[in-house]
């Protein structure tokens, strides 16, 4: 469950354990750490000689060494591709590689779709942004995953909500997988070319080696499916025939108010899926959601955190009538610290996602 954990049994170790914990949690692929301080260490008296920051641990390499051989192989495959497709995840955001990513897709002309945690790494209205992948995602990127000849996965882990049945997933495609965590490569989907490394380093190397292209005919296929999805599904969701408001039309109205500039924090459920499908984003780090952990009750405390992290931005929590009850006591925190969080409860009178 954790990236690192440590039990402190002697109080003199607390300071160095904390320093290591902060270093490990925030370096390379970030992740949670656990320090368990035993009772005897908590009450032990000792001479404290100060806190020293940690920035190196022998045997821990936060970023794998980039192997040029794989970058060259990847570039060769991309240059020969007729129907290449990029799928991107949170690695682009955590690696602060949004610009490097944009340069890569703009030079290669490759349509790109996002996983739920990759959302907002690329502006929603970018012409090469073809939408959301997976179970609740858009029609085009899902159908065309099984038609592309090269699939370039960047900072994503082929979660089951993206792939569905692995034995039927993109079998026809060569897979290029860029990831900082070697454990993710070949875990769910076997990579034809593994590109280990921080995508902030690997993407520019790859961009240098690829030819400038535009895959217009291929891109138009995505647009054709987009039009079809709009006519068959999205228009009906946005303009339902009944008097009742639909979740999609509420998010659509929200977009008009935020103009894509707000931080949107979603809880877990149908409102989360609809929120992520329809919310618009102009800048990165604007979508906060619990992703694969799927934790109801996440949105309200996370929105408080987002408001402290980005005090100048509008923070909107989108929550279901079920999820709000899980951490509703945080309304007290909001009152006590006068936190500016806007809360949108999409009340469908049931635990929609489960029902």
Minimum distance from residue 300 beta carbon to ligand TPP (Å): 11
Query: Given candidates 15, 255, 282, 295, which one binds ligand TPP under the rule CB under 6 A?
Result: 295
Question: How far is Cα 95 from Cα 225, in angstroms, rounded to an integer?
Answer: 31
Q: Which stretch binds ligand TPP (CB under 6 A): 12-20, 28-36, 101-109, 294-302?
A: 294-302
The number of residues making up the chain comes to 355
Question: How far is Cα 100 from Cα 270, in angstroms, rounded to an integer?
Answer: 33
Q: Which is nearer to ligand TPP, 128 or 326 (CB)?
A: 326
Q: Which is nearer to ligand TPP, 42 or 347 (CB)?
A: 347
Q: Which stretch binds ligand TPP (CB under 6 A): 146-154, 217-225, 292-300, 309-317?
A: 292-300
Minimum distance from residue 272 beta carbon to ligand TPP (Å): 7
Q: Is 294 in the site for ligand TPP (CB under 6 A)?
A: yes
Instruction: State which residue has the least CB distance to ligand TPP.
Output: 320
Q: Nearest CA to 248 among 279, 205, 208?
A: 279
Residue bearing tokens 């490759």: 110
Q: State the alpha helices, DSSP H only, in the chain.
A: 14-26, 39-43, 68-80, 90-94, 98-108, 139-145, 160-163, 199-209, 216-229, 235-238, 247-258, 270-278, 299-309, 323-326, 330-337
Question: How far is Cα 117 from Cα 260, in angstroms, rounded to an integer?
Answer: 17
Q: Is 268 in the site for ligand TPP (CB under 6 A)?
A: yes
Contact by Cβ (8 Å): 268, 352: no
Q: Is 271 in the site for ligand TPP (CB under 6 A)?
A: yes
Q: Is 277 in the site for ligand TPP (CB under 6 A)?
A: no
Q: Which stretch binds ligand TPP (CB under 6 A): 35-43, 258-266, 268-276, 302-310?
A: 268-276
> Within 10 Å of residue 311's Cβ, how many Cβ atoms?
10
Query: Given candidates 155, 269, 275, 301, which one binds ligand TPP under the rule CB under 6 A?
Result: 269
Q: Over the range 290-308, which residues count as b (16 or more CB within 10 Å of their CB) and which as e? A: bbeeebbbbbbbbbbebbe
Query: Given candidates 111, 131, 141, 323, which one binds ligand TPP under the rule CB under 6 A?
Result: 323
Query: Given candidates 27, 129, 270, 307, which one binds ligand TPP under the rule CB under 6 A?
Result: 270
CA distances to 194, 283, 330 from 335, rounded to whole Å, are: 49, 29, 9
Task: Read off the tokens for 18.
Answer: 């904390």
Q: Which stretch binds ligand TPP (CB under 6 A): 20-28, 258-266, 276-284, 314-322?
A: 314-322
Q: Which stretch binds ligand TPP (CB under 6 A): 105-113, 119-127, 212-220, 288-296?
A: 288-296
Instruction: Look up residue 26 and give its DSSP letter.
Output: H
Q: Which is nearer to ligand TPP, 16 or 295 (CB)?
A: 295
Q: Is 65 in the site for ligand TPP (CB under 6 A)?
A: no
Question: How far is Cα 101 from Cα 94, in angstroms, rounded to an integer?
Answer: 12
Q: Is 305 in the site for ligand TPP (CB under 6 A)?
A: no
Question: Site residues (CB under 6 A) for ligand TPP?
Answer: 267-271, 294-297, 320-323, 326, 346, 348, 350-354
């Amino acid at each position: 469950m954790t990236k690192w954990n440590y039990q402190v049994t002697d109080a003199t170790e607390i300071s160095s354990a904390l320093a290591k914990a902060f270093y490990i949690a925030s370096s390379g692929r970030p992740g949670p750490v656990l320090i368990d301080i035993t009772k005897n260490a908590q009450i032990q008296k000792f001479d404290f000689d100060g806190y020293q920051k940690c920035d190196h641990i022998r045997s821990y390499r936060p970023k794998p060494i980039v192997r040029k051989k794989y970058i060259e192989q990847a570039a060769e495959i991309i240059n020969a591709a007729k129907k290449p497709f990029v799928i991107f995840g949170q690695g682009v955001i955590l690696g602060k590689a949004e610009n490097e990513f944009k340069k890569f897709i703009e030079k290669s002309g490759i349509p790109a779709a996002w996983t739920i945690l990759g959302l907002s790494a690329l502006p929603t209205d970018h012409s090469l942004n073809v939408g959301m992948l997976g179970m609740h995602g858009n029609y085009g990127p899902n159908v065309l995953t099984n038609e592309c000849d090269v699939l370039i996965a960047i900072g994503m882990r082929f979660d089951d909500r993206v792939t569905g049945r692995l034995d039927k997933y993109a079998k026809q495609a060569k897979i290029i997988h860029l990831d900082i965590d070697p454990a993710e490569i070949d875990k769910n989907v076997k990579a034809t070319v593994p590109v280990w490394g921080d995508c902030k380093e690997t993407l520019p190397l790859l961009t240098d080696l690829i030819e400038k292209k535009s895959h217009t005919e291929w891109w138009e296929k995505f647009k054709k499916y987009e039009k079809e999805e709009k006519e068959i599904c999205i228009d009906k969701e946005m303009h339902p025939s009944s008097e009742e408001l639909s979740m999609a039309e509420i998010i659509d109205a929200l977009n008009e108010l935020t103009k894509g500039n707000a931080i949107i924090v979603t809880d877990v459920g149908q409102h989360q899926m609809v929120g992520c499908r329809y919310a618009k984003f102009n800048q990165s780090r604007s979508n906060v959601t619990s992703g694969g952990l799927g934790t109801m009750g996440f949105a309200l405390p996370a929105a408080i955190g987002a408001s402290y992290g980005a005090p100048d931005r509008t923070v909107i929590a989108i929550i279901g009538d079920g999820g709000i009850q899980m951490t509703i006591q945080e309304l007290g925190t909001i009152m006590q610290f006068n936190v500016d969080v806007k809360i949108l409860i999409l009340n469908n009178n049931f635990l929609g996602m489960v029902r």
